[in-house]
Structures are given as C-alpha cells and as structure tokens.
Structure 1
C-alpha cells in the first residue's frame, strides 16, 4: 500500500496519495541552512570564535567541509556549530551542486572569503547562470577574480580595501557584507533591500558579534 507521501529512492520523484479529508497538525520548520552557512562564512572571514545556535549540522556538511579544507576549525555539538578562524586561510575549489552538494546560494559568500585565501581558488557554478554579478563589486575592493563562463578563478590578494559597492541581488549582498568585514577601511553597500529579503536584521546580529556595521537612511 502506498503511504500518504513516498519518495522514490535515487530519483527526484515524490508520490502523493490523496485523502478524502485533511486535518491540522503542528509542524516545526527546519532552520535556514543558508543563513546559518552565511554566518559560518562570515565568522571564518572576520576571524575569532563564534557559536551559531539552532542549526542542523548535517544540513551544513558541504559548508563545513570547505571551511575545514580552507583551514577553519569547526566544532559540532547538538544544534550548535562553533567556528574558530585565524588567518591565513588556504585556497579551495568549490563546485555548486543540488543538495547534499555545496549550495549555490552560498557560492557568492564563500567567494568573498576566498579572495584572501592563499593560492588560487576555482569556483564553478553549475546551478544558475549569471551568478557572478558580485565579482565586479569585489574587484572594486581589490579582489583578483577572472570569470570564464560559469567558473570564477580567484587569485589571493593580501587584503581587500573598503569601497562603495552595490548589492545586485540577495546573495551578492551577503557576499559584500562578508567582504566588508575583511576589508581595510570603510565599505558602503547600496541597494540593501535585496539583503533584507533573505536576512532578518543581519546588521544587528553582526553588530552583536562586535562588527562595526550600521544602517544609514539616505532617504532624507
């Protein structure tokens, strides 16, 4: 007998058996792996010792693996992840894939981290086209990145420099915040509405960790 919802192993097929009547239930939504992964990368970029609560570590395995390969210390304990990072980091290669592979939504954030990781990093985007719009903005900050098709070749630089940049989309905005945390000097990011669409009060959360970040209202 077919259960109400069945997943076909090894395929992308879900079979649903209809019912005459539905009923209510209590359901807990899983933690946002992309937000958690963004803070993991931000902690690695800024350095120090950060504990991220309310996560499912298994969902973050691809991010954990790449950060550890880069030289970041990652500790898992129940629904907590601890990030301990010291410079310099090592270059790594990243290839986006469907879950459980490395998530495309964290390709741009980790690209910022890799701008100062010693050596040459290769970032391959296999999910979405035109997901390197953040590269030109990172170049304004001194990054050495060359895009060839759906691949970005990142040569390390000693440091990034603060600059006026534009968040062209949600994850690009997150990438620029991470770059700003690493950069020498002041970085001003415009079009932050894109960032707010996916991260609630990200400036307040980072400020709580000691980041020098503030939101400026230029409407007046």
Structure 2
C-alpha cells in the first residue's frame, strides 16, 4: 500500500503534491534508505507526475528515483526526464548533476563536462555542491586534459577548510583519478602540482591521509607507463 493510499483510507488529509515530493526526496537521500523504498517511491512519483505532467520537480524526483535503481533499462528514461527538467529550468542544479553522472558513466565525457560545469557554476556550499567540483576534475582527467584537471584540483584544494572538512567524502574523486591514472602522463610541473593539491586536501579533511598516497600511486603508475 502506498503512503497516499494509506492516508486516504484512514481519513487523514493528503499532503500537497509539492510537499509530498520533498518528503519522498528526503527519504531517498537518507543514508539508511531501504532498497524497497525506491520501488515504492517510483510508484508514488509516477502517480504524482501523471496528475501534473508539466511539473519539473515531479519529473526530477521520478528521474532521481529511477537513477537510484542503477537498472540500465531505466536510464534512457532517466535522461529524458532530467532533460525535460533542464529544458524548463536550465539552472536546476540536481538535474544537471545527475545528467552529468549518467553521461559520465556511459563514457560520454564531453557531454558530462558540460553538465558538471554548469552545475559547478551554481553549486551551494554543501555535499552535493562539492560533488560538482569533484566531477569536473574527474571528467577533465578522464578526457586526458591533465593540466586543466590539475588546475581545477588546485582550486578545489583551496576551498575553505570548513567546507571540505564537513562535506567532502574522498572516495569518489580518488577512485576516478586512480581509475584513469594509467592513461595519464604526468611530467614537469604536473608532478609537484598534484602532490601539493593532494597534501592540501588531506590537511583539510577529517580522514586519514588519503590523497597523498593516491598522488604517489598515480605518479608511480605514470612513470611506469612512460618507461
């Protein structure tokens, strides 16, 4: 039984659709979210979007819920929904971010970079805001634009310590940098630039040293590839 059906049956007033969408998104973004909740949310959001097909927020919420399934057969619909949101609201941060993620995971790095750049330009000082900065770095790195990626990494490492300390999870950026490391040739000033930025990130974080060892692994891998 869906949440709205349950309220209707016990005679409780139904929440306004926009309030319910906000509640569903909060539930989906919770770290302790049950996987079964995603399927329930999709059913509710399908009904809400069916009642108001022009709503960008309903389209975003449904696209996000479908994105969370990681079901490849659903991802084309995710893209269509998120593109609809961006067509209506070109600066919808979250729609841009998840469009970027979808393109990145398909290896469409140029398209991903455009979405991440726009998201980065309007990012807030929160966890998701940092993700847009991280993914600009990761996408430039994946494209082989090493100098540009290192320049972005330096700007990222220069962000205020409280912002990085409270909101940065190092795993995603570190994973993407290392995943593409064998394809990247570091030389000259690139090596100290990478070391300096990684040292600054570790100094501002709340984790054990993470980026400094990563930098050394990337430098070592790059040296092997050049030899």
Q: Structure 2 length as normaliser, TM-score?
A: 0.32
Question: Higher relative contact order at CA 8 Å, sep ≥6: structure 1 or structure 2?
Answer: 1
The structure richer in helix per residue is 2
The structure richer in strand per residue is 1
Higher-Rg member (1/2): 2
